[in-house]
Amino acid sequence: MRVVVTGGAGFIGSHLCRALIARGDSVVCVDDFSSGLGSNVLALADSDRFVLIEHDVRERIPVVGPVDAVVNLASLASPPAYLARPLFTLQTGSIGTQNALELAKRSGARFVQASTSEVYGDPEIHPQTENYWGNVNPIGPRSVYDEAKRYGEALVAAYTRDGLNGGIIRIFNTYGPRMRVDDGRVVTQFISQALANDPLTVYGDGSQTRSLCYVSDLVRGFIAMVDSEHPGPVNMGNPQELTVRQIADLVIKVTASASRVEFRELPQDDPQRRRPDISKAQSDLGWAPQVDVVEGLARTVEWIAAGAHRDAAVAVST
């Protein structure tokens, strides 16, 4: 297959590009490097089945030739990033998604949209099932990401009703190597603080929950979705629910850190509970996570401790 991956130099996108190349596909990676890093896909540069196009998806996507699938991962995903660039985030999720859909439409290609558990907002239903419509504050600061993704889903659904072979994945908290350590997300923040023996910053009382899925597991789910004609939406995440305080304690244990936990005020609209119901992914796609949380954290700690993230930043700047 020839697959276009928008946001392909990002954390999840770069892992997906590598997995597609590894199984014999050709990949066109489209990224504007607003959050992705060229070093994430540097190892693929010598492959004759990999092409990198630096491009903002808010403009018509300039891919020529046959395309079998388009996977749309283009979006700022870390809270500090999308809060700093609210209009850019909204435009990427709306105009950018439509441009990716238009590429798939004119190519007759399969389209897979990377949506998010944030479409559920601060959920009143637990665990979250795909038929739950969510509890999102449409004018709160996080809405620039939440509503961009909800609108993106509406676009995909409209194109699919019009004949496009489209599908939607709702991603729950994902972690692993090549996450940016400055992205403000719980795993990278805790690991960076623990390795420095600094206090681990827990917002609220730490009782809010997250469900952590290792990136290789999520990528398997994306490939299963690309290979199917499932319209979605399909939840993809690890149904093992952990409190933020438990995650902090696990990171301290895995890193053998002397850090303590420090509590701070909870940000506005921060979801209190996250746990996916993955029954649909299991039954329809044969997908379930395989990597244990402790093992996944250990791999992520090893990558950050080795300074790979700093090497990536240097490679891009030079």
How far is residue 24's CA from residue 27's CA, in Å, rounded to a whole number?
10
Question: Residues in the chain, how many?
Answer: 318
Residue with tokens 């491009």: 55
CA distances to 191, 193, 247, 300 from 200, rounded to whole Å, are: 8, 6, 10, 17
Q: Which of 145, 159, 175, 214 is catalytic?
A: 145
Handedness of CA 251, 268, 32, 19 (dihedral sign): positive
Of 126, 121, 119, 102, which is closest to residue 233 (Cα–Cα)?
A: 119
Identify residue 245 by its one-letter amino acid code.
R
The answer to whether the beta carbons of residues 73 and 50 sit under 8 Å apart is no
How far is residue 8's CA from residue 20's CA, in Å, rounded to a whole number?
11
- Is 214 part of the annotated catalytic residue set? no
Structure tokens, 89: 């985030």
Question: Which residues make beta-bridge pairs with 27?
Answer: 3, 50
- Which residues are known catalytic residues? 145
